[in-house]
């Protein structure tokens, strides 16, 4: 067997494979002899079918199969040994009236080659790294929510401006009948507030759904309808009051602190606010990190210039899908996937140049950290090491989970690299301003 490469240009090449009859004939003959031993053909005893008949019936199929195996194995070996960085897979060139009976079989494959390029991590343009801070307003609001959450309900006879009112919404035409509890401090409509305040148990108040709540998403849960139906809904609904409660805030004392953070972890209102600020900002880090990763990714895609073997890749998409595509459709598919392909190449280059690797031990520790954070959400703050080891072993026994966690860990390694090497400018913002600036 002889394999040679003809370089067309920097991004395209042809690999030629010449297979001599001696490369496959022994294997073909052995398979056909085995077929003969097992063949059941009318008129012949088992194992006594003439080999010529076996060759006539099965010879071509066996030959093609063995040659394809040789092609696949040796072509892959050649690409690896020659260190050819190919995109997609080699595409066999169409050969009309191919003669399988010659002493030497010749095949040609088109290759699309990955481009050569550099990715300077020290970006020319400074990229914003957001540091989200919990300001006094946010901390005070969180303290107020905690006191309210851990407080107690006091039954009332008349609705006040900050009460919680339980009742049933009804609109027969829209088939709405749903019992819910309204927190009046979440009501936006002044007309609705005026109608509710001063009402008593048993009263029915007519409310209009348009602009009823400060947050639009609250309407769908209040009426038990879909978000789609709630969007822009403008109807009158009857709200019949069945219960009125005032939520009396909890006392700011050690008993509350212990319920929130464990015994004697926090011992004063000042320490409570410091802990809330610290915990909030820790949660914000994930959002600011994701924003930074997205922005660096976009920067590299926009500013790392290289050509792709567009013609080859379009042809590859056209020929290798579940169903063959027209050339026009293949071009559309390539255009859709080009940005993702470019970043795959850029990311691969960064990983290779900076020798970023995911070792099993660090993957296991990463998995344990992920498991620990999941358990904390359900109140298990201090799981035993043995328990974490056992759960991690089960998780890492699932190849899909290994792939998912490996990708997350590599993203973390890339993020750390960008924080160290990229040209970043830190911008300190409140969470409210971060949302406005990033999401509009």
Under DSSP, the state recorded for 93 is: P
Q: Where in the chain is the domain with CATH 3.30.70.1050?
A: 2-113
pLDDT digits (tens, 9 = 90+) for 220-248: 999 999 999 998 899 999 999 999 999 89
Domain(s) of CATH 3.10.50.30: residues in the chain = 152-248
pLDDT in tens, 244-295: 999 899 999 999 999 888 889 899 999 999 999 998 999 899 999 999 999 9
Beta carbons of 330 and 345 less than 8 angstroms apart: no
Specify whether the CB–CB gap between 185 and 201 falls below 8 A: no
Q: Which residues of the chain have pLDDT under 50?
A: none
Domain 152-248 belongs to what topology?
A: Chitinase A; domain 3 (3.10.50)
Angstrom CA distances, 225 to 166, 172, 192, 222, stand at 18, 14, 20, 8
**For 44-74, how does the pLDDT look when each residue is reduced to its tens digit (9 = 90+)?**
877 778 888 888 888 999 999 999 999 999 9
Residues 163, 156: contact at Cβ < 8 Å?
yes
Fold of the 2-113 domain = Alpha-Beta Plaits (3.30.70)
pLDDT of 53? 87
Q: Is the torsion defined by CA of 396, 400, 403, 408 positive or negative?
A: negative
Tell me if the pTM is above 0.85: no
């Amino acid at each position: 067997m002889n394999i040679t490469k003809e370089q067309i240009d920097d991004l395209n090449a042809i690999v030629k494979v010449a297979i001599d009859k001696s490369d496959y004939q022994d294997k073909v003959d052995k398979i056909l002899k085995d077929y003969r031993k097992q063949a059941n053909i009318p008129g012949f005893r088992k194992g006594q079918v003439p080999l010529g008949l076996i060759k006539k019936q099965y010879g071509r199929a066996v030959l093609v199969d063995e040659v394809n195996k040789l092609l696949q194995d040796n072509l892959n070996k050649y690409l690896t040994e020659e260190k050819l960085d190919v995109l997609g897979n080699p595409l066999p060139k169409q050969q009309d009236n191919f003669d399988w009976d010659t002493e030497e079989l010749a095949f040609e494959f088109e290759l699309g080659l990955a481009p050569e390029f550099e990715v300077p991590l020290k970006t020319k343009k400074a990229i914003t790294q957001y540091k989200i801070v919990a300001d006094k307003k946010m901390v005070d609001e969180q303290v107020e929510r905690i006191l309210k959450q851990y407080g107690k309900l006091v039954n009332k006879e008349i609705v006040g401006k900050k009460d919680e009112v339980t009742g049933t919404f009804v609109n027969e035409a829209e088939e709405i009948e749903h019992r819910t509890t309204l927190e009046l401090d979440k009501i936006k409509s002044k007309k609705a507030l005026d109608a509710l305040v001063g009402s008593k148990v048993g009263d029915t108040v007519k409310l209009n759904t348009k602009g009823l709540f400060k947050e639009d998403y609250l309407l769908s849960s209040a009426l038990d309808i879909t978000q789609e139906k709630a969007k822009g809904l403008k109807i009158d609904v009857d709200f019949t009051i069945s219960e009125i409660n005032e939520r009396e805030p909890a006392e700011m004392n050690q008993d509350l602190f212990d319920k929130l953070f464990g015994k004697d972890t926090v011992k004063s209102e000042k320490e409570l606010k410091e802990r809330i600020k610290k915990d909030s900002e820790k949660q914000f880090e994930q959002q600011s990190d994701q924003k930074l990763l997205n922005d660096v990714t976009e920067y590299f895609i926009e500013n790392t210039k290289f050509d792709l073997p567009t013609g080859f890749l379009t042809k590859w998409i056209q020929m290798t899908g579940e169903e063959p595509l027209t050339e026009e459709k293949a071009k559309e598919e390539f255009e859709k996937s080009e940005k993702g392909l470019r970043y795959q190449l850029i990311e691969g280059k960064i990983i290779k140049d900076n020798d970023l690797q995911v070792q099993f031990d660090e993957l296991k520790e990463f998995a344990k950290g992920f498991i620990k954070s999941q358990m904390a959400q359900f109140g298990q703050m201090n799981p035993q090491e043995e328990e974490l080891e056992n759960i991690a072993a089960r998780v890492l026994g699932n190849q899909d989970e290994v792939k998912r966690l490996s990708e997350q860990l590599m993203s973390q390694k890339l993020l750390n690299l960008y924080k160290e090497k990229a040209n970043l400018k830190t911008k300190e913002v409140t969470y409210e301003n971060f949302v406005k600036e990033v999401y509009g």
